[in-house]
Structure 1
Amino acid sequence: MTQPLDQIKEKVEHHLAFIYDQVEDVNDYSAISERLLAAIGLSAENPPIIPESYRNLWDESDIMMITYGDSVIRENEKPLESLRYFLEKYCVNTINKVHILPFYPYSSDDGFSVIDYSTVNQSLGDWSDINALADEYGLMFDLVINHCSARSQWFQNFINGSGTGSDYFFTAKLDDDLSKVVRPRTSPLLKETKTAGGLEHVWCTFSHDQVDFDFRNPEVLIAFVKIIRDYLDQGATIFRLDAVAFLWKVVGSTCINLPETHETIRLLRTLIENVAPDAIIITETNIPNRENLTYFGNANEAHAIYNFSLPPLLVNTLVTGDCRYLKGWLMSMPPAQNGTTYFNFIASHDGIGLRPAEGLLTDNEIASLVQAMQNFGGRVSWRTSDMGQQKPYEINITLFDALQGTIKGPDKYQIDRFICAHAIMLGLEGIPGIYIHSLLATSNDYEKVENTGQNRSINRHRWDLEKLEKQLDDPTSQHHKVLTRLSQLIRVRKAQPAFHPNATQFTLQLGDSLFGYWRQSADRQQSIFCISNVADEAQTITLSDINLIGTDCWLDLITGEQINVADVVLNLAPYQTVWISNREE
């Protein structure tokens, strides 16, 4: 069903009135609204579609793979074609959504310093390759909305003082009070820039090659809505709002999570859902857990938020053999209401973020985790706290190497521990996202770190496809073993109604070495008890502790073995997971 254009226009004007209330010379909300509606493609001829409130746009079959466009390459072939080949050959009946990390021309940060939002990096392919992938998979595009490259034409126009972009960038004065600004980097915040109008100091939240936009100028907002429209036309079904927490700046404030930022997301949600009601917005906000949860709004901001606390808590659990912190966090997490969900991941192109563990792990626990990861070859990225202290911001390591042992050192359980991590993640409330290098059990790439000088390169290996295929065809290789076991887990997961991202979830109390939770399908016909031994010694479950109903037949979905309720205990090997269900799919 559609609705009159005037109704959506009025709603957009309300958003604008909130966003620009404190901005001088911005008050013609009617004119701005008209331009935004035109930019997104709404008109009297193409009226707004009435979105269905609290509708889940996902189910248990949704599994996303996170990858760069050139994570797998083959000689004389466009990398995006090689990626499509890999997906079609090795991800059959497992992956149905793909997050292709920024595939636009860029100058640094492996894509997150965008030079041109409108084109595909020619080293990867072109729009026809993106379109071909979009025909087979739900694609997540990055909307790098906080900043762009200092080498972009927009920023060159800023320097020249004329043309599109000349007034797109946020500047400050050296005597401004910037003491409260929260940043994830230790580099200077302001970039001294000579322009045709004189010396300016440009705001750079991340690096001096990544110059921040000034959303106080409505032209910036309109430009990004045009980009969104273009991405929809090219096949995007999911928008990842990169670093969006930093979008709005007010000198003298923290410049993170400001009310205007939240209202801007609500505005984008209004525009997107009225033209593409099946499209999904995911906010990438690598911040403490309580702040992260606010990006759901009242089911009117992000459809999904990254579960950033999961990676550090889960890795900490598996290297210590103690699930208390993970269990306490899970018990505190509110169920996502219909129309919203969590995006679960335990590895990505970035490292293991530690800010989302603040307040959940003690400083001593974080220090111990950092030390263990350094012992396994990891690197550490740092930030400056509001007290001027250097604090670990991120651990840079592949997940496979992060789980090669415990705080006691490496051991023989690396693959079992790695699979256990994914079994825990795959069963949790939310949509699972799996990094390609987790599927492939990729180890730390020290050579790339040395070549780039960037810690994050350790987990951004580029596979030669022919060499990779030889490894995947070798039953003795870690790559074959992990891909085989993960694929089997994923296929089982996708068939269970109780693993719907919004199905009921309760945390089980099984001690410190057994981590468990219970899921139940919406129709209450299926229950699954998900229990993992997170220790390097065998553990037993007393079946009476999980109250299996004696009239039902129970089996472990992972092994297919029947569970005899008359047995007193169930034995779990180190890092073994069971999915005990009353229904076989």
Structure 2
Amino acid sequence: AHQRGLRVISDLVVNHTSSDHPWFQEARSNPDSPKRDWHVWSDTVHRYEDARIIFTDTETSNWTWDEEAGAYYWHRFFSHQPDLNYDNPEVIEAIIDVLRFWLDLGLDGFRLDAVPYLIERDGTICENLPETHEILRLLRRTVDEEYPDRVLLAEANQWPEDVVEYFGDGDECHMAFHFPVMPRMFMSVRREEATPMYEILERTPDIPANCQWGLFLRNHDELTLEMVTDEERDYMYSEYAKDPRMKINVGIRRRLAPLLDKGRDEIELMHAILFSLPGSPILYYGDEIAMGDNVYLGDRDGVRTPMQWTADRNGGFSKADFAQLYAPPLMDPLYGYQAVNVEAQLRTQTSLLRWLRRFVALRKEHPVFGLGTYEPLAPSNHRIFAHVRAYEDDVMLCVHNLARSAQYVELDLSRFKGRHPVEIFGRTRFPAVGELPYLLTLAPRGFYWFQLVEDESEEASHDG
């Protein structure tokens, strides 16, 4: 991967182990085992009662009785995933050794799984506790001192004001997923209303200069609806999960293309919004070719089917016998691997894959998207999501039409008077900005990205 200019980060499950893990097996075998205190045990279920149950579909308690141990063990997720006891210094040291093992092999960093739940305290919801941040600072210090230029990415499905705590003062995680933005993007597109996105971005605090948000449309889990209101959750279920099999826990287990009814305009618009926001976009495998899902597979496997590389056997993913595959490749007429695959899309100039590759390259040309400030414009037309990104002398105007119909918008750009908007996909120069509101018309689900250039900058770019 490094020879191809790729960096690789891996999931590091810091919160729990499997119930089959040797640590847990040794812990349950004997109350006097040295590993007994590596997990959280109790003689009663009446501890940490304020902690919510996360996997509501399958779990009725965060405690499970273990016959061999003769005690209850604590788990925030599935009952076969007992939590580690981070009040035990030996556990912290063991996790640091695991981290060192993989970094010594050349790994470039970790997605730290389920970090809000490392510590338990009675009288709290057992999330986002101060001791958790002490542990993360220790992990970060280890990485900085022993493995420079590696990254820690926090998976903390929390409200923005809680997630920013995982950056610390720039001394905890380098990055964190911004979970609440994602469902509001889908909500805005379906409602044709930009307000949900404006509101959650306004609620997002500033972060340390050496940190970054991780932004995404979909991932390997469900489209989580934990960080929305009850009313918003009901709306999302009614619009995006009409079949009960599409629901799981507190979310929707669907891929990007099926969620958007395979609408090419909608898929492009969602990526444009994602790429325009402050942070680093994270793409889920298969979404770049509009792969589908299989709601008939259990648990989260429906969005984890094999990557569809070619129209050959098993989609080019494996030469194994079809019956040996853990999850079967998609074979339906609309999303099956014979209809949707990388090989075919690379041969088609207008394919989603080719478009997205060009879009990624274009974004990389402009550091403003990764480093710049974000200023919402909030025009009177609520179907338009518009904002300005600025970094040094680079000013970018991003305007997105969430509606299924053509729209116009008037933007107050008077502070940029004299600059020319240059549409960066086709390098088309638009009339100069003046004192009056700047009028734009947008196609259904259309968007513009303009670089606001002064005359000398524009001439220089043409000469280049």
Change (3 A) 1:164 1:233: farther
1:158 aligned partner: 27
After the TM superposition, which residues 300-311 of structure 1 pair with which residues of structure 2 at under 5 Å, given as runs? 300-311=171-182
Match among 334, 347, 365 for residue 205 of structure 2? 334
Percent same amino acid at aligned positions?
Answer: 24
1:123-134 to 2 correspondence within 5 Å?
A: 132=1
Is the contact made by 1:351 and 1:397 (CA closer than 8 Å) also made in structure 2? yes
Please tell me whether residue 528 in structure 1 is matched to residue 396 in structure 2.
Answer: yes
Deviations 1:503-553 (A, max 9, x none): 1110111231000111111x2x211001100110101133x5233745333
Where 2:8 maps in the other structure, the secondary structure is strand
What is the 5 A alignment of 1:13-32? none
Q: Are 1:224 and 2:95 an aligned pair?
A: yes
Partner of 1:444: 293
Contact in 2 for aligned 1:498/1:520 (Cα 8 Å): yes
Does 1:364 pair with 2:231? yes
1:466 aligns with 2:334: no
> Is residue 2:138 matched to residue 1:138?
no
The residue number in structure 2 matching 1:485 is 355
Separation (CA, whole Å) in 2 of partners of 1:436 and 1:480: 20
Shift in Å, 1:566? 7.1
Instruction: Give the Å deviation of 1:179.
Output: 2.1
Cα distance in 2 for partners of 1:576, 1:508 equals 17
How does the TM-score come out when normalised to structure 1? 0.67
CA apart distance, 1:477: 11
Deviation of residue 581 (structure 1)?
0.4
The answer to whether the 8 A contact 1:441-1:478 is kept is no
Q: 1:480–1:228: structure 2 CA closer, same or farther, 3 Å change rule? A: farther
Cα distance change of structure 1 residues 164 and 173 upon mapping to structure 2, 3 Å threshold:
closer
Contact 2:103/2:109 (CA < 8 Å) preserved in 1? no
Looking at structure 2, the residues matched to 480 and 236 of structure 1 have their Cα atoms a distance apart, in angstroms, of 35
1:502 is aligned to 2:371: yes
The answer to whether the 8 A contact 1:351-1:394 is kept is yes
Match of 1:74 in 2: none
Q: Distance in 2 between matches of 1:204 and 1:348?
A: 23
Q: Higher RCO, 1 or 2 (CA under 8 Å, sep at least 6)?
A: 1
Q: Is the 8 A contact 1:272 1:279 kept in 2?
A: yes
2:133 is equivalent to residue 279 of structure 1: no
> Any residues of structure 2 matched to 1:380-391 within 5 Å, and which?
380-382=247-249
Structure 1: gaps spanning 5 or more residues: 1-131, 383-392, 405-412
Report how far residue 312 of structure 1 moved.
0.4
User: For the residues of structure 1 that align with 2:363 and 2:346, how far apart are their CA atoms?
Assistant: 25
1:206 aligned residue: 77
CA contact (8 A) 1:176 1:252 kept: no
Contact 1:338 1:502 in 2 (8 A): no
1:566–1:573 Cα change, 3 Å: same
| 1:418 counterpart residue number | 267
Cα deviations by residue, 1:225-277 (Å, 9 ceiling, x for unpaired) = 11111111122222211001110112443211111111111111122111123
Aligned to 1:290, which of 161, 164, 168? 161
Q: Assess, with a 3 A threshold, how the Cα gap between structure 1 residues 268 and 554 changes in structure 2: closer, same or farther.
A: same
Residue by residue, what CA displacement relative to the aligned partner does 1:336-357 show, whole Å, maximum 9, x if unpaired? 2311111111110012111222
Partner of 2:63: 190
Partner residue in 2 for 1:435: 284
Whether 2:406 is the aligned partner of 1:562: answer no
Counterpart CA distance in 2 for 1:229 and 1:205 is 26
Over the residues paired in the alignment, what is the CA RMSD in angstroms? 2.6
With over 3 angstroms needed to count, the CA separation of the structure-2 counterparts of 1:137 and 1:165, relative to structure 1, is farther
Secondary structure (helix, strand or coil) at the match of 1:167 reads helix
Unaligned stretches of 5+ residues in structure 2: 317-337, 454-460
Counterpart of 2:132 in 1: which secondary structure?
Answer: helix
Cα distance change, pair 194–163 in 1 and its aligned pair in 2 (3 A): same
Once the two structures are superposed, the pairs formed by residues 61-140 of structure 1 within 5 Å of their partners are: 132=1, 136-140=5-9
| 1:324 aligns to 2:188 (yes or no) | no
TM-score (norm 2): 0.84
Whole-Å separation in 2 of the counterparts to 1:530 and 1:378: 37
Aligned to 2:133: 262
Structure-2 separation of matches of 1:566 and 1:252: 57
Which of structure 1's runs of 4+ aligned residues deviate more than 6 A?
Answer: 476-480
Q: What is the one-letter code of the residue matched to 2:375? A: F
- 2:414 maps to 1:547: yes
Q: Is the 8 A contact 1:319 1:403 kept in 2?
A: no
Q: Distance in 1 between matches of 2:15 and 2:429?
A: 52
C-alpha distance in structure 2 between counterparts of 1:275 and 1:495, whole Å? 32
1:78 aligns with: none
SS at match of 2:283: strand
Deviation at 1:486, TM superposition (A): 1.4
Alpha carbons of structure 1 residues 151 and 319: separation in structure 2 relative to 1, 3 Å: same
Shift of 1:373: 0.8
Whether the 8 Å CA contact 2:309–2:343 is kept in 1: the answer is no
How many equivalent residue pairs? 421
How far did 1:177 drift?
3.3
Residue identity opposite 2:5 in structure 1: E
CA distance in structure 1 between the partners assigned to 2:34 and 2:405 by the alignment: 63
